[in-house]
Amino acid sequence: MAQPHPASSSQAIGTVTASPLSGASQQPPSLEEAYAYCSAQARRHYENFPVGSWLLPRHLRPAVHAVYAFARHADDLADEPEHEGSRLQALDSWQRHLERAWSGDASHPTFVALADTLKRYRLPLQPFRDLLTAFRMDARRTRYDSWEQVLGYCRYSANPVGRIMLRLFGHEDADCDRFSDYLCTSLQLTNFWQDLSVDLPRGRCYLPCRDLEREDLAEGDLQSPGTAPARRRILTVVTDRTHDLYDEARPLPARVGGRLSWELRAILAGGERVLEKVVSGTQDPFRSRPRLGWEDALPLLGAMFVRRRRQTA
């Protein structure tokens, strides 16, 4: 059984200043310092960190923060402008840190904490390697030809996170893994459709090229007012597919039970609510990012308590 963590998020914050790629300061940080460093990284990006919610048990938060700090920096290496031209080399270096941490040789604060988390919760290394595969994909390509290719990307970018979380909660079950994969892929896809207005100007598009071709649309036309009907048809196609995946994920909360069940109910309800906003027609997701507001609180609460499948024509 996992022992209590030696660190709290309030301890030693700011005492570790190692560059994320340099290895570490002159000597490895203590475990308390390392976990505090990771917690600070999680708080800094809290708006993008739903698994840090109040539903997450306090004893698991340091471990989740360690996982997050690992993935957050790898994501920055794949996406932030300052790493242009050296992304793959930087990700290779980050993986070398991971492999050394697995063998007990960690010096960077993220990996000091992560090595302890891996050992404490007997986590497999493969999901972390899979995440790095996704970040390398981000660095190499910005378009996907088919729906199958988009799902293949999600298999590396999203599904490993769900499997890591299941293991942290003590679940090692093939059916849970399968339902979790459906949920994580659904959430990743929802984020793609929610972020169209953000990603397209940055030259990144997850709408399959074959779907665009069927509507005789070029990527450069996607934010043009004159293409609204074709854009709406494409959006309907991809969101219908995403809804189907949410339906496949629906057994997961009941399967895991306990506190995690409520966390998953909240995540599932929130993801589906965002997807509904994307296709509602009240906002054009190609021009602005749909967001949840206070008016969504009651429907979200209801969705957490009522298990339902989407009605189809």
Task: Give pLDDT tens digits along the chain (313 positions).
Answer: 455 555 443 333 334 444 445 444 458 899 999 999 999 988 876 544 444 455 678 899 999 999 999 999 999 999 888 888 889 999 999 999 999 999 989 999 999 999 999 999 999 999 999 999 999 999 999 999 999 999 999 999 999 999 999 999 999 999 999 999 999 999 999 999 999 999 999 899 999 999 999 999 988 888 888 888 899 999 999 999 999 999 999 999 999 988 889 888 888 988 998 998 898 877 789 988 887 655 545 444 544 455 555 545 4
Alpha helices (runs of H) in the chain, residue ranges in sequence order: 31-44, 61-79, 87-102, 109-120, 126-140, 147-157, 159-168, 174-194, 196-199, 209-214, 228-249, 252-256, 258-279, 297-305
Residues 89 and 157 in one domain: no
Residues 237 and 278 in one domain: yes
Residues 201 and 122 in one domain: no
Task: Name the pTM for this structure.
Answer: 0.84
Say which CATH number the domain at 124 has.
1.10.600.10
Residues 308 and 161 in one domain: yes
Cα atoms found within 13 Å of the Cα of residue 79, Cβ hemisphere only = 15
Residues 232 and 116 in one domain: no
Last residue of a domain, one of 140, 163, 178: 140
Residues 93 and 125 in one domain: yes
Structural domain contains residue 214? yes
Site of tokens 């290895």: 23
Residues 108 and 218 in one domain: no
Q: What interhelical angle do 126-140 and 87-102 show, nearest 10?
A: 180
Residue 6: predicted pLDDT: 57
Residue 13: predicted pLDDT: 35
Structural domain contains residue 303? yes
**Token pair of 92, please?**
């290779």
Which amino acid is it at 277?
K
Last residue of a domain, one of 122, 140, 158: 140
Structural domain contains residue 290? yes
The answer to whether the CB of 156 falls within 8 A of the CB of 134 is yes
Residues 212 and 133 in one domain: no
At a CB cut-off of 8 Å and minimum separation 6, what does 231 contact? 217, 222, 284, 286
Domain that holds residue 255: 141-313
Residue 3: predicted pLDDT: 52
**Token pair of 257, please?**
């039970």
Q: What interhelical angle do 159-168 and 126-140 show, nearest 10?
A: 160
At a CB cut-off of 8 Å and minimum separation 6, what does 293 contact? none
The answer to whether the CB of 104 falls within 8 A of the CB of 162 is no
Residues 171 and 101 in one domain: no
Q: What interhelical angle do 174-194 and 159-168 show, nearest 10?
A: 130
Nearest to 67, CA basis, from 113, 101, 24:
113
Structural domain contains residue 1? no
What is the distance between the alpha carbons of residues 268 and 301, in angstroms, rounded to a whole number?
A: 11
Structural domain contains residue 2? no
The answer to whether the CB of 75 falls within 8 A of the CB of 135 is yes
Residues 172 and 286 in one domain: yes
Residue 295: predicted pLDDT: 55
Structural domain contains residue 6? no
What is the distance between the alpha carbons of residues 118 and 40, in angstroms, rounded to a whole number?
A: 20
In total, how many domains does the chain have?
2
